[in-house]
């Protein structure tokens, strides 16, 4: 019983933003399997409000979203006093990691398609679980 209460209290939270519902579904299942509490959104319009209300330990953010650029969202997150300390991992099929990281001040980048173990390792590293 004590273990259950402890594990529930310490569960790390991840917000995933991608306009591809299939990617959201797969990532949600995988990250829940690895012990994360996960919420997802298909639009960039509510990332700031979701970040403030959900208080994620990390945000996984697609670079190219329908109607809005994930890099702009990342910049907004990093400029907002309430969200600037939340690590952001950008992910995309776009191959220029350095350009993406430099443009938006993201904490890390992973290219699609990605290895799930690499992704979980990056998440754990950024939120201090390694």
Q: Which CATH class is domain 12-126?
A: alpha beta
CA gap 46, 54 in Å, rounded? 12
CB atoms within 10 A of CB 45: 13
Among 8-22, 49-63, 77-91, the range scoring the smallest mean pLDDT is 8-22
With bands split at pLDDT 50, 70 and 90, how would you rate the model's confidence at 29? very high
The CB density around residue 1, as the number of other CB atoms within 10 Å, is 5
- pTM for the whole thing? 0.88
Question: How many CB atoms are closer than 10 A to CB 119?
Answer: 19
Q: At 26, is the pLDDT very low, low, confident or very high (cuts 50, 70, 90)?
A: very high
For the chain, what is the mean pLDDT?
88
Residue 94: pLDDT band with limits 50, 70, 90: confident
| Contact call for residues 44 and 63 (beta carbons, < 8 A) | no
Q: Decide which of 58 and 129 is more confident.
A: 58
């Amino acid at each position: 019983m004590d273990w259950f209460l402890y594990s529930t209290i310490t569960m790390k939270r991840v917000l995933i933003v991608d306009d591809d519902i299939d990617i959201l579904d797969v990532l949600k299942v995988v990250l829940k399997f690895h012990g994360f509490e996960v919420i997802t959104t298909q639009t960039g319009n509510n990332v700031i409000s979701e970040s403030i209300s959900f208080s994620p330990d990390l945000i996984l953010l697609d670079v190219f979203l329908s109607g809005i650029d994930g890099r702009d969202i990342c910049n907004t997150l990093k400029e907002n006093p309430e969200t600037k300390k939340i690590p952001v991992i950008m992910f995309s099929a776009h191959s220029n990691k350095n350009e993406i990281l430099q443009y938006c001040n993201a904490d890390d980048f992973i290219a699609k398609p990605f290895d799930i173990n690499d992704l979980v390792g990056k998440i754990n590293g950024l939120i201090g679980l390694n």
